[in-house]
């Protein structure tokens, strides 16, 4: 009997996620930089197939190894039908996070102890622990894996859609 959790493509946020109390983690980018968004709440308002999360913290490791932590009041996710990619934006799509994705963004709900440890690590700016918690969380999901403590591999179509946009598109 296969008891491993399965990720599924979702085009709309299931109503059951609206009541989530633990933080959600969304993998925004996985190569050459790494970026994940930790969101405290899901906003039930959008009814157009999009998802809005609130009280967000973005953790990003640049390809040169620099680390960043940024806060956003809200972040929106939607499927861009013209380009056939998922996009995310903290400013109503005036600009986009770095890597649109052909596959839907992976969204995980953290267990309370794991969420508390992640929050403590963010407050302390303990970047190694933040990455370790996020890496292990995503590596346990189907089609994701981590061959070492320094890397996470995602499916081939994950966060690979930047080339679908004109060079004038503003990315953050």
Spatial separation of the C-alpha atoms in residues 91 and 79, rounded to whole Å: 16
Predicted confidence at residue 165, as pLDDT, reads: 83
Residues of the chain where predicted confidence (pLDDT) is lower than 50 = 1-18
Q: Is there a domain that residue 172 lies in?
A: no
pTM of the model: 0.82
Q: Is there a domain that residue 7 lies in?
A: no
Residue pLDDT, tens place only, 41-62:
887 666 677 889 999 999 999 9
Q: Give me the domain span that covers residue 158.
A: 20-162
Q: Is there a domain that residue 1 lies in?
A: no
Q: Is there a domain that residue 8 lies in?
A: no
Q: Which two tokens stand for residue 58?
A: 């973005």
Q: Is there a domain that residue 137 lies in?
A: yes
φ/ψ (deg, to 5) at 28: -90, -30
Q: Structural domain tally of the chain?
A: 1
Closest to 26 (Cα-Cα) out of 83, 72, 91: 72
């Amino acid at each position: 009997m296969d008891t491993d959790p399965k990720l599924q493509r979702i085009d709309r946020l299931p109503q059951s996620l609206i009541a989530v109390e633990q933080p959600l983690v969304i993998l925004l980018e996985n190569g050459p930089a790494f970026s994940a968004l930790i969101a405290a709440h899901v906003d039930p308002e959008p009814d157009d197939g999009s998802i809005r999360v609130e009280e967000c913290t973005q953790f990003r490791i640049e390809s040169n190894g620099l680390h960043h932590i940024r806060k956003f009041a809200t972040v929106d996710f939607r499927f861009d039908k013209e380009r056939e990619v998922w996009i995310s934006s903290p400013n109503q799509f005036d600009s986009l996070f770095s890597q649109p994705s052909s596959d839907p963004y992976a969204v995980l709900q953290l267990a309370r102890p794991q969420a508390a440890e992640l929050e403590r690590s963010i407050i302390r700016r303990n970047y190694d622990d933040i990455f370790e918690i996020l890496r292990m969380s995503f590596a346990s999901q189907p089609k994701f894996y981590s061959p070492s403590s320094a890397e996470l591999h995602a499916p081939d179509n994950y966060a690979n859609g930047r080339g679908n946009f004109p060079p004038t598109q503003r990315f953050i």
